[in-house]
Amino acid sequence: MQKVALVTGGSAGIGWATSTRLQRAGWQVVSASRSSKAPSGCEGLAIDVADDSSVREGVAHVLNSYGRLDAVVTCAGWGVAGAVEHTPLGDAKDQFEANFWGTVRVVQAALPAMRSQGAGHLVMLSSIAGCIGVPFQAFYSASKFAIEGFGEALAYEVRPFGVKVTIVEPGNVRTEFTERRRVLAAGAYPAQARAVAKMERDERDGVSPERVAGTLYKVLSARRPPRRVSVGKASERVGLLAKRLLPYAMFEPAARGSLGV
């Protein structure tokens, strides 16, 4: 039986590359985004992950069309850059609506079918910024830290029903995400311009979205998928290990240089 996957954020970047990779591997892929733009061979579906009814109706459409849902990959999201002090709460809430609550909505909509099947795989895009706080991206980092805790707790809950959970932590990736980031006025924080400029350079020099898609495909193909997996340059991923092992008095000075502050 052909496996069915729903990929959110499928119109660009990691979502587009993941939809393409799964479709080429023989999956039936529903590539969802607000625009419904999708790679060749995938069904494009209009879903706004920040809207309850849009998500419910979209997942219902997948189940009505294909009769099952084997995997959900949540790639939808965007970034806001600015000092915490100068970030309007509306912008901060918008960030969470897409990155965190958007993931929650899709997961809640998909779980009844996965429980009924006794199988399914929920793959959630976090970030290395969900493990290491990034200055002037505090709300983006917070939304990804939330994914980390949410996914870990969820895994305990759904394990008895045969549903798997994997949290994927990319580093810098070359996508449209960089140009689409909402950058706020620096205000009283002159370090913001330097930090954001370094962040954008690192992203443009990051790994390809196809590399992340390859990791996602391996996760979905694994008999015993990991709870967490990072993907990106070794120089970025080593930071995850360093944070776990080093005292903060040593870790933070080293991290400041890599973060541009």
Active-site residue flag, 65: no
Catalytic residue among 31, 33, 141, 144: 144
Token digits of residue 227: 């709870």
Residue with tokens 């080593």: 238
Task: Give the active site residue among 33, 126, 143, 230.
Answer: 126
- The residue annotated as part of the active site, out of 19, 31, 33, 140, is 140
Token output for 246: 């080093």
Measured between alpha carbons, how far is 25 from 161 in angstroms, rounded to an integer?
A: 26
From residue 188, give the alpha-carbon distance in Å to each of 77, 192, 199, 236.
Answer: 28, 9, 20, 29
Instruction: Clarify whether 144 is annotated catalytic.
Output: yes
* Token representation of residue 132: 């290491």
Residue 250, C-beta contacts closer than 8 angstroms, at least 6 positions apart: none
Tell me if residue 218 is catalytic.
no
Cβ atoms within 10 Å of 17's Cβ, excluding its own = 25
Does residue 11 carry a catalytic annotation?
A: yes
Q: What positions carry a catalytic annotation?
A: 11, 126, 140, 144
